[in-house]
Amino acid sequence: MKLRSQAFSIFSFLLLVLLTVSCGTSKEVTDDNVKSYITQVVDSVMVDRLSTLQLLDYNVDTKEFLVGDQQTNEVLIVNENGDLVLQFNPHVESPAYVGDYDFGWSFYGNDGLVCHSHYYLYQFDKKGNKLAKIPYPVEARSIWWLDRDPTMVDSYTINGSTEVLAFITEPAGPPYNSQAFQDSTVMLYRMNFETGEATPVMEKQPESVYRTLGKFVDRGFPYVTKMKNDRFAQVYSIDSMLYIFDVANNSLVNAIPLPKAFQPEYETIEFGEKGEPDIFRINSYVVSTGDNIMVSVMGKVPESIIREIYKKVDMLSESQDYKDAVKKYITNNHLLFDENRFLGEMKWTAGNVGYQKISSPDGYFWVQRRYDDERDYQTFLKVKIVEDSNSEKP
């Protein structure tokens, strides 16, 4: 993770490598109820555009895609036929201006958009007109731009009213390298733009490793994805649990342990101690198909090795030692869950795609095809998770 203003060449190189690698109680996981799964592409949408695009959100009701143009900084809405519905630039001086860059976008119900920017959220209609500027629900010490672009803002509907879940990466409060930070700092807020209400939700649970370990590993950023019925799935990088929340009531529906073979691996340092401990495996991404949740688990190059390599080179991507370390440590596994239990490991068979996966409540999720050469079009893929009929029982 880095401040937004810092360079991100390390992440870009690591992403390239990764793309080539392919409260309730939980039911007991046994060999009899664990199966193997694969991904299956069931549909695609092609967009005629030379620029590199970033898939930001998908609206299952209107069958529209919210897309960012990474060359022009424009925001686009594209329909299910790949036709351009809206195109505007909120990063140039105009009535739609939100700042030189932003931290994420979402559809706002079926009729609008919401942008997560510098210390404010902005509400737009679907013509690109700015409707409101809403301050963060809590004072922020700083703003972090996180690796792998987790969900920073999402909307949902409760009793006919559209609300927003906003991720504030570092609210003001105790120092991050302290137990008080882990116990008291909340980064997710439920916001109602019409009433002005904002409520902290989906806090770290008392049983979370961040609150019981007694030592420091990382800040504990929450990674979330929207499911059905106003529920959200949540993971943290080094927590061994998948959490399911009912956001309307801020109630924990279930906490499901990851299989031991895939749980995070890390070292620790004392609170207040300088430096970063080595982390070997983390939960890196979470996406939902409505009823099911996929958690991506990623192996990492330890920080101590990176520090040693930096003594020899200025750019990690230019280091053969770093490339060797990536081959040794980087792994990528995908685990499938429902609201009650671990279902099995999922093998990625949908080809070469970007790291972002956009949830959809209709049994699918969306990804973006990644090409090794320049194309004058971009392709979004509709992906289904199915049981692997050719696999033997794990």
Which structural domain range is residue 234 located in? 9-387
Task: Compute CA distances 29 → 35, 136, 190, 282, 343, whole Å.
Answer: 11, 41, 33, 21, 8
Residue 147: predicted pLDDT: 86
* Domain count within the chain: 1
Mean pLDDT score of the chain: 92
394, part of any domain: no
68, part of any domain: yes
197, part of any domain: yes
199 vs 119: CA distance, rounded Å: 17
Give the contacts of 258 (CB within 8 A, at least 6 positions apart). Answer: 240, 241, 242, 283, 295, 297, 335, 342
Record the pTM. Answer: 0.91
Which CATH number covers residue 312? 2.120.10.30
| Tokens standing for residue 160 | 């006919």
What mean pLDDT comes out for the span 277-288? 98
pLDDT exceeds cutoff 70 at 327: yes
392, part of any domain: no
Q: Please state, as a whole number, how many other Cβ atoms lie within 10 Å of the Cβ of residue 252.
A: 17
Helix 320-329 with 303-310: angle, nearest 10 deg: 170
353, part of any domain: yes
Q: For 3-37, write each residue's pLDDT tens digit.
A: 443 333 444 444 444 444 443 334 444 556 899 99
Instruction: Return the CA Rg of the chain.
Output: 21
Task: Compute CA distances 286 → 87, 104, 295, whole Å.
Answer: 29, 16, 5
Q: For 179-208, write each residue's pLDDT tens digit.
A: 999 999 999 999 999 999 999 999 999 999
What mean pLDDT comes out for the span 268-296? 97
Q: For 62-87, write each residue's pLDDT tens digit.
A: 999 999 999 999 999 999 999 999 99
Q: For 207-251, write each residue's pLDDT tens digit.
A: 999 999 999 999 999 999 999 988 999 999 999 999 999 999 999
2, part of any domain: no
Residue 159: predicted pLDDT: 86
Residue 391: predicted pLDDT: 73
